[in-house]
Structure 1
């Protein structure tokens, strides 16, 4: 008896593994995603270097975390620092109606998602081709998040441990010349992203406690939670 072969492929610096012997090619599978992650290929993410990895043990189901990421109705209350820099998030929306590239503009005068206004970090590849300083994001089903702002790309990976426990790995990616140069201060940018993560984690832990209550009852997704609906539909289709 030999080891069982599995499908392994790479995309934008991330390794994907599938146990399905009939799995389609990775690029085809990614193209089929409603969040259009392949639109982010223009940023050449594979050329970036990981500056730090954080690990969080969260008492919440991975689907609670994924749904939270897929909507922004909570943003105005939960993420005051973030919505100050990304005004459209304050409205509960995750996209900007006057843009066709799925990007969202930063507030006037803002050049990055950071606690330091003038951090002086080089822009990511292709960011200088945009008219506005912008952020982009994509959820790669089932357990990967990609968030891109002018100076940093953040990869997030959910690893379910049980129905009520998820390990979150977060990777902070910058241009190699930035990571290798000690004169660049990455802490304000990493700390800002980590703050947003911790705010989300706090909410998701409370949601997990809520859905465990005997008084919990299901409700409907609103039009601004369409990505959450897409997630649930895909999950149900795959387990049925």
Structure 2
């Protein structure tokens, strides 16, 4: 490092090889080593009403989320133990007391226990207790639902800790706006773009106006040229701005329990590799989910979460609140697709990271460690 308090690299390490972004075999290895061994975000609890069954995908696997009438949520591989038919063949459908296979009517309770083989007449060698649904590990963190396909799931580890969002009333926030966008790029390219701001001056004029330090191509003051511990701190957002809206004004009441530092930050990022990051503001929270669709295809799902008090304001327009971050996300998406097209060149085998790309190096090291562990 160049300074005890500066994160800048003191070298220019190599990037991942180009094959990591386009090779089907590499992608298949990642799916097994990363996406089926880690916690993957699949949606908000309050967007899954009681009495609902929903089909989702995690790590390339077909999974069904079940929330019974009492509000309990379970998850299973979307396959009947009889001959493997899908239990849920639509995006979402009502769920009663039982999960019933539409093919031969085998039925399971919402804990996955087989309770009926319908018209089939098993012989004594068939043991019902051995033929329940295949469970998938599920965890609720701040109202976000995560699945893990591993037999023994790892701990859920947001980069700032499980308590990072404790000052926000996360469990009570409701989804007010959603944006789904598919990008022609590898999922790691999106995370790399997320982890640096060298691109900000050329790609994000609106964001650089809102966050003045970004005009220097850095994410924080301690990365800027000439910075020292004696450099006086400056406001994160431009003068008069409190949050990420087009005007910088809060869209509703500010959350009351935030610390002075959390308010002064203007935005508070929390990252959960490989599938999600959260941005908590003084007046709303935004969550972005990353879903790989193939070696060169990625889906982004951005959700804006608000308090009931904010949503119930006369004339409240969640889409207008989302407009600022949507502009930034659209710009990032175009940059990621540009990156993907360029690295297809037969001459490009890999690159070198710059000192300001320390978080990309950490991400690459995380990917390498995950792949090696498998």
Same fold (TM over 0.5): yes
2:317 paired with 1:185: yes
- Give 3-state SS (helix, strand or coil) of 2:239's partner: coil
> What's the counterpart of residue 10 of structure 1?
140
Distance 1:206 1:111, change over 3 A: same
- Give 3-state SS (helix, strand or coil) of 1:42's partner: coil
> C-alpha separation between the residues in 1 aligned to 2:238 and 2:258?
16
> C-alpha separation between the residues in 2 aligned to 1:151 and 1:84?
20
Alignment of 1:160-239 (within 5 A): 160-239=292-371
- Give 3-state SS (helix, strand or coil) of 2:166's partner: helix
Distance 1:37 1:75, change over 3 A: farther
* 1:97-141 Cα shifts (integer Å, max 9, x gaps): 48xxxxx72112112211134455222353464463611112210
Alignment of 1:1-240 (within 5 A): 1-26=131-156, 29-30=157-158, 33=159, 36=161, 38-97=163-222, 105-118=236-249, 121-127=252-258, 129-130=260-261, 132=264, 134-240=266-372
* 1:196-231 Cα shifts (integer Å, max 9, x gaps): 000000000000001111122322222221111111
* 1:152-173 Cα shifts (integer Å, max 9, x gaps): 2110011111001111111011
Tell whether the 8 Å contact from 2:253 to 2:309 is kept in structure 1 after alignment. Answer: no
Distance 1:191 1:162, change over 3 A: same
- Give 3-state SS (helix, strand or coil) of 1:132's partner: helix
5+ residue gaps, structure 2 = 1-130, 223-228, 230-234
State TM-score, norm by structure 1. Answer: 0.86
* 1:41-65 Cα shifts (integer Å, max 9, x gaps): 3223222111011110111111000
- Give 3-state SS (helix, strand or coil) of 2:315's partner: coil
Tell whether the 8 Å contact from 2:177 to 2:319 is kept in structure 1 after alignment. Answer: no
Distance 1:119 1:129, change over 3 A: closer
Distance 1:125 1:17, change over 3 A: farther
Of Structure 1 and Structure 2, the greater helix share is in 1
State TM-score, norm by structure 2. Answer: 0.57
- Give 3-state SS (helix, strand or coil) of 2:196's partner: coil
Greater CA radius of gyration, 1 or 2?
Answer: 2
> C-alpha separation between the residues in 2 aligned to 1:44 and 1:171?
16
Q: Residue 37 of structure 1: CA displacement?
A: 6.5
Q: How many residues align?
A: 230
> What's the counterpart of residue 101 of structure 1?
none
> C-alpha separation between the residues in 2 aligned to 1:38 and 1:225?
27
5+ residue gaps, structure 1 = 99-103
* Cα RMSD (Å): 2.2
Tell whether the 8 Å contact from 1:64 to 1:204 is kept in structure 2 after alignment. Answer: yes
- Give 3-state SS (helix, strand or coil) of 2:181's partner: strand
- Give 3-state SS (helix, strand or coil) of 2:345's partner: coil
